[in-house]
Amino acid sequence: MYFQSGALTFLLASAGSIDYASAFGIASQHSFSSFITKPIQSYSARPSTYNSRTSLSMFGGGGGGAEELKELADEGDKLSKTVGGAPGLFKAGGLAAIPAAVALGAIITPPGVAVTVVGSAMSGVAGFIGKNRIDVATEAAAKPALAQLVIDLSVNSPEIEDKIKEIQTKFGVEDEEFVDICSDVYKKYLIGMVKTPITLTSEMKELSNLRKILNLNNLAVGEAHAAAAKEFYRQTCLFTPVEDLDDPEHPDRMSIDKFLFLSERVFRQGGETNEAFKYEMSRVAKAFDLKIGEVLERVAEVVEPFYQKALDTTRSKIDTDAVSSDMLLRARNSLGIDEMTANDMHLVTFADEVKCLLGKNDKTSEDADLSALAFVEGAKDRLSKLQDILELEDLEADYEISSEATPLFQARALAIMDEAIAGSLSPESAWEQLNTRQGELLLKDESMKDLLASMVMQAMGKSFEDTMAFAKVNNVGATYDKLLDALGVKEACRAVLQQSHWSEFDDFDGLFFDPASKSSAIGFLSRADRLRLYKIFLARSVRNSESGKELTDENYEKVKDVKGMLAITDADEADEFKMAFGQELQKTLNMAMFEMTGDDFTEDLVKNLEAQIDQVINDYRLSDSLVAEFSAPIYMRAVNIISDKTPSGIPSKEKMEQLDKLRYLLGMEKEDSYNAHLEIFGNAYKTSVSESMGSTGVITKEYRKPLDELKKRLGVSEEDSRRLYLDAMQDRMVPMIEYIVLELERTMLNAEQLARKRQKDFGEDYFKSGKGASGNLGLGAEANIMTDCMNLIDFYTVNDIAEKREIGTKTIEKKVVENDEEKTVTEEVPDYETVYPITGLGSNAVQQELAELLYRQFVVGGFTAQGPQAQRYEDARDNLGGILGLEKAKMEEVTNSIGSTIYENYINNSMRTKGQLDQQDMMFLANIQGKLNISSDDSEKMLIDTQKKLLSEEANAIVANESGPEIVKAFREKCNSMGLELEADVGLSRAMVEEMFEIEVSPALVNGDITIESGDLLTEIQESFGMIPEDAEKMFLDIILRRAKSAMSRIKAELLRGREENCVDIVLRLMRYGQFVNGELELSVDEATGWKIFNMYDSMDFEDMDKETVESNKSVLKISLGLS
C-alpha cells in the first residue's frame, strides 16, 4: 500500500511532534560504550591495588549479559511496541488490510491533537498499511520480549524454556526467523558478559544454560560467536591503543581473553569435531586479528589461574577429605585443561607442598643451616594423600622430594663423610647418621644411592686433582704420597658404603673408576695421565723397599689397589712391569742360557741358576706371561747354539738333556719348545725319512724304529713329525705321478702332439707303438700304466700315508652265543673314512682333467683284466682315486660313465641280434655292475637309459624309412613287452607317435581290416601307443576324412575317363569310411556325380548281405554324397 504524496505531506505537517521515523522502524542507530550504556569514562592510570589476574573468582556473580539485554529490551519503534502489547489483534486480520484511519488513530495520534483534525486529515488519505509492515513489526517486537523474559526469569529458571516457546507462539514467528532472534539475543548476552573483564567460572554454566533454553544448535552458536566477535572488536579494539591490548592486565585485553575463553569452552562442550572446532575458533580469531595458536595460548592463560586456585584449595583441605582426584578431574574438564598442562601444574603444587613441609620458602636465607631442616611430623602421610589426589607416579613424587631434599642431605652428609675419611668417625657410625638423615628427608634408597655415589665421586675427584698437580711438575715423591692419600679416601668411602649392604656398591672400582665415563672419579684423566701416575707409583714402591730392588708384599698390594683405582688394564700393567723390570729379567735369563749351553754342565749349576732366576721373578712380582715372553726367544737362541755345535745336525743325547734342563729353568712346558725344535731340527728329520726310503721308495720295518727314536731325541712333536714325514713322501710321490701321466699321454697322443704339449722332442723311438687305444666294448688301456699305478698305490699303502678318520657311528650285525644258542645282534661301532693327506692334485703333480682320465684308464684296465690280477685292480681302484685327489662323487661319475658305455654297447649288440635282453644278458650286466661298483639305482638307470636310446633311434629309423605297418606294430609291441610307453618312457615326441599311429592304422583302414565293428582293435592300438582316447579319436577321424577325400578324387578321375569298373572297390571303401562318421565325410560332390556313384553302388551284388544292412549302407552313402 502507498500513501498519496499530498495527503502524506499534510498528515506529517499536522502531527509535528510525532516520532515518524520510529513509527516506520527506520530510526537512526546510536553507538554505545564498550562496557556500559552510560557515558564512557576516560581510562587513566590503574589504581595501585588493581590486580585483575589475582582477583579471578570461582564463584558466581555479576550480570553483564542481563545488563546488555536491557538495551535490547528497550529497542524497537512504537508500532513494534504496540504490536508487542497486543500481537494477536494485528495478526488476526490475515491478508486483509487494516484501514489507515483506524491504524493511525490507534497508533500515531499523539496526545493533545484534536480528533477532528485527525479525522479531517485522514479523509484525504486513500492508502492502507499493508500486512508486510505488520509482520516485520510483530517479529521485531518478539526480540525485546524475549530479552525481557531472560532478564526477568534468568537463564537458570526451570520454566523459562516454556515461556520462550510461548513468545514464539504469541508473536506467530516462524522457526527460522525465531532462530535468528534467539541467536541475536545470545550474541547480545555474550557481549554483555565479556564487557566485565573479570572471568567467573559460573559464566560458563550461565552461557551453556542460555544456549540450552534458546535451543541453539552448534551452527547457530558458531554464527553467534563470530558475529559477537566482530561487533565486540568494533566496540573495543578500534578505540583502544595497541600497547593496551598487548598488556595482559588491561581491562580491554582481559575482556578479549575472556571472550576467547568462553568461545573455546562453548565449542568444546558443544561436542564439535576437531575440524569444526578449528573452523569456529579460526573465525573468532580472525575477528580479533589473531592466529589460532595465539588464541589457544591466551585461553590457557585465562583457565590456569582457576585451576591453580583449585589446587591451592586442595592443599589447604588435604586433611579434611573434602577434596579428591575426581573433583579435580571435573574442574579440568570444565575449564579445558589438557593432561600435560595439568600434570605440570600438579608437579609444581606437589613441589610447593614439599617445600612447605620442609620449612623452606622464598624467604629462606642462603646462610640458613640447611642441615637442620627436615620434614615435619606427619609429612609423609600428607604427601602420600596429595600424591594420590594429584595422580602422580611414584617416580614423579620421589623426584620432587629428592630435588628439594638433596641440598639438605648433602649439607649434613658431606660433613659426615669428611669425618669418616679423616678417621674421626667409624664407618658404622657414619652410616647410622646418614641413614637417620635419609629418614628425616623421606629419601628413597634409589635417591640415596645416587647421592652417596656423587659424594664419593666428588671426594675421589678432589684427591686425583691434587695428585695431578704434583705429577705435572714431576714431583714424584708428592705424587706418590697423594696416591697413598687417595687410597685412604677410597678405602674410607668403601667402608661406609659397605654398611649399606647395597649390591650396587659391590663392584666399587667398576662403579667409581670407569675411565669411559666422564662422570667417574677418573673421567677427567686421560689414559696417558693414568699410566703416568701408575708408573710413578710402581717405581716409587720398589725404591721405598728396604733393599730398593724389590716389591714387598705390602707395596705390591698397594700397587694392585692403585691399578684398580686408575683402571689400568692387564695389558698396560704387563707393559709397565716389562719396561720397569724386563731388562733385569732378560739379563738373568741370558746368563742362565749361556751357562746351560756351555761344555761345563753340572746338576749344581742347574740348582744355582734356578735360585737366581726365582729371586728376580719373586722380587719384582713378575707374571708367568712376562717370563714366557722373554723365555721363548732365549730358548730359540739356545737351540741354535746346540745345533751349531753339532755338524751332523743331530745333537747328542747329552746336549738334548741340557736343553731340557734349560727349558725347565725358563719355566717352559715341553709344548712351548716344539716350534724351536721344528725350525732347527726339522730338516734333519725330513732328510732321515727321505734317506730311509732308499731306491724303492718304501721304508722297511728295520728303519721305522730308528726314525721314531730320532723324532723323540730331536724334540719334534708328533704332529710336526707327521707333517715332515708327509713332506718327504710327497717329494718322492710327485715324480712317480708325473711319470705315470707322461705314460698316459704317450698312449693318447702321437709324437707331434706330445712334443707340442710338453715343449720337448721325444723322438720317434720313444713310442713303442703307433696304435691308438684299443680294447673290448669300445674301451682301451695300456698295460704299463696299470703296473705304474699299482706301484704308486703300493708306495702309498706300505708307507702308511693314508689315515683313518672317525666320522660317526654305524650299526653292524654280529653273531653271539647266549645259553648255547647263536643269535644275531646289532651293535653301534665307530665309522671311519680313509683320508689321503697328500694327493696328486694337491701337490700339483697332475691336473684335474688328466687325473680323471688316468683314473678312467685304470678302471677300464681293471675291467678288461682277467684272473686274480683283475680282482687286485678292482680292490685298488678307490685308493688310486684318493691318491690322485679325486672326490668320491667324481670317481662314481667316472665309473658310471664307463658302465654306461659298456651297457650301451652290450645292450645294443644284444638287442640287434636277439631283439630283447634275456636272462644271460642280465647276469652279464649284473657282473659288470659288481666289477665297477655301480649302485643298483645307477645300474637300473643305465639300463633304462640305454634301452630308451636304442628304441628312440629305432623309432626314428622306422619313420625315416617309411616302414610298413607290420614294422610299426612289432616296434610298439616290443616297447609294451618291456613295460615302456613310447612318449613317456622312450621319449618319442607326440608328433612321431601320431605319425606311427597313422602308419599302422591307415593301411588297415584302406584294406578293410578296420571297420565299424573293429572298436576293440582300435582301442588296443590307442592304448599300446599310450594315447588318450580323445586324441586317438580325433586323429582317426582326421585319417578317415583325408582318406575319403582321396577316394572321392580317385572316383571322379576314373568316371571322367569312363572307367566305371575301376570305381567299385573305391566306392565300397568310401561307404566304409562313411560308416565311422554316419556319412559326415565333408565331401564336395555335385548331385549328378553323386547319383551316378550311388546308382553304381545300388547295382552291386549284395546277395550275401542281409537287406537291412544293405539299406543302412545305402543311407550312409547318400549322406556322404549329399543326396536327399
> Model confidence at 111, in pLDDT bands (50, 70, 90)?
very low
Cβ(851)–Cβ(745) below 8 Å? no
| Residue predicted with more confidence, 922 or 818 | 818
What pLDDT does residue 512 have?
Answer: 92
Average pLDDT rounded to a whole number, residues 1094-1116? 87
Taking every pair of Cα atoms in the chain, the longest distance, rounded to a whole number of angstroms, is 172
Residue 803's DSSP bridge partners are 835
What pLDDT does residue 36 have?
Answer: 30
Give Cβ neighbours of residue 11 (< 8 Å, ≥ 6 apart). Answer: 3, 104, 121, 122, 125
Q: What is the pLDDT of residues 343-386, one digit of tens each?
A: 999 999 999 999 999 888 765 556 667 888 889 888 899 999 99
Q: What is the pLDDT of residues 146-177, one digit of tens each?
A: 989 999 988 889 999 999 999 989 998 999 99
In the predicted model, is pLDDT for residue 927 greater than 90?
Answer: no
What pLDDT does residue 101 have?
Answer: 37
Q: What is the pLDDT of residues 237-291, one digit of tens each?
A: 777 888 888 888 898 899 999 999 999 999 988 888 899 999 999 999 999 999 9
Percent of the chain with pLDDT over 70: 83
First to last CA, the chain: 102
Percent of the chain with pLDDT over 90: 37
Query: What region, left, alpha or beta, does residue 771 occupy, with left being phi > 0 and alpha being psi -120 to 50 degrees?
Result: beta
What pLDDT does residue 11 have?
Answer: 28
In the predicted model, is pLDDT for residue 527 greater than 50?
Answer: yes
| DSSP label of 1100 | S
Place of cell 486513500: 126
Residue 47's DSSP bridge partners are none
The pTM (predicted TM-score) of the whole model is 0.51
**Number of other CB atoms surrounding residue 1080 within 10 Å:** 15
> Model confidence at 668, in pLDDT bands (50, 70, 90)?
very high
Nearest to 737 by CA among 618, 580, 874, 842: 842
Average pLDDT rounded to a whole number, residues 805-813? 87
Of 47-61, 299-313, 721-735, 826-840, the one with minimum mean pLDDT is: 47-61
In the predicted model, is pLDDT for residue 41 greater than 50?
Answer: no
Q: What is the pLDDT of residues 581-612, one digit of tens each?
A: 999 999 999 999 999 998 888 999 999 999 99
Q: Is 450 exposed, middle or buried (0-12, 13-18, 19+ CB in 10 A)?
A: middle
Average pLDDT rounded to a whole number, residues 989-1017? 83
**Spatial separation of the C-alpha atoms in residues 214 and 161, rounded to whole Å:** 7
Cβ(117)–Cβ(124) below 8 Å? no
> Model confidence at 1008, in pLDDT bands (50, 70, 90)?
confident
> Model confidence at 223, in pLDDT bands (50, 70, 90)?
very high
Q: What is the pLDDT of residues 70-81, one digit of tens each?
A: 888 876 544 455
Q: What is the pLDDT of residues 897-912, one digit of tens each?
A: 877 777 667 767 766 6
In the predicted model, is pLDDT for residue 96 greater than 80?
Answer: no
What pLDDT does residue 424 have?
Answer: 92
What pLDDT does residue 81 have?
Answer: 53
Q: What is the pLDDT of residues 1048-1076, one digit of tens each?
A: 999 999 988 889 889 988 898 888 888 88
Q: Is 629 exposed, middle or buried (0-12, 13-18, 19+ CB in 10 A)?
A: middle
What pLDDT does residue 860 have?
Answer: 83
**Number of other CB atoms surrounding residue 1097 within 10 Å:** 20
> Model confidence at 82, in pLDDT bands (50, 70, 90)?
low
Q: For helices 1015-1024 and 990-1006, what crossing angle results, to 10°? A: 160
Q: What is the pLDDT of residues 932-974, one digit of tens each?
A: 667 777 777 777 777 777 777 778 888 887 778 888 888 888 7
**Spatial separation of the C-alpha atoms in residues 499 and 501, rounded to whole Å:** 5
**Spatial separation of the C-alpha atoms in residues 1121 and 1117, rounded to whole Å:** 6
Average pLDDT rounded to a whole number, residues 911-927? 69
**Number of other CB atoms surrounding residue 546 within 10 Å:** 7
What pLDDT does residue 44 have?
Answer: 33
Cβ(692)–Cβ(709) below 8 Å? no
> Model confidence at 772, in pLDDT bands (50, 70, 90)?
very low
Place of cell 696299470: 786
Sign of CA dihedral 973, 974, 978, 979: negative
The per-residue pLDDT of the chain, averaged, comes to 81
Q: What is the pLDDT of residues 291-319, one digit of tens each?
A: 989 999 998 888 888 888 889 999 989 88
* Cα separations in angstroms, 564 against 467, 527, 534, 567, 1067: 16, 14, 10, 5, 120
> Model confidence at 49, in pLDDT bands (50, 70, 90)?
very low
Give Cβ neighbours of residue 310 (< 8 Å, ≥ 6 apart). Answer: 58, 327, 328, 331
**Spatial separation of the C-alpha atoms in residues 556 and 551, rounded to whole Å:** 6
In the predicted model, is pLDDT for residue 1077 greater than 70?
Answer: yes
In the predicted model, is pLDDT for residue 92 greater than 60?
Answer: no
What pLDDT does residue 810 have?
Answer: 87
What pLDDT does residue 85 have?
Answer: 52
Interstrand relation of 821-835 and 803-818 (parallel, antiparallel or unpaired) = antiparallel
Q: What is the pLDDT of residues 11-35, one digit of tens each?
A: 233 333 333 223 223 233 333 333 3
> Model confidence at 6, in pLDDT bands (50, 70, 90)?
very low
What pLDDT does residue 477 have?
Answer: 92
In the predicted model, is pLDDT for residue 125 greater than 70?
Answer: no
What pLDDT does residue 107 have?
Answer: 37
What pLDDT does residue 635 have?
Answer: 94
| Residue predicted with more confidence, 822 or 48 | 822
**Spatial separation of the C-alpha atoms in residues 1017 and 848, rounded to whole Å:** 58
Counting every residue written for the chain, the total comes to 1124
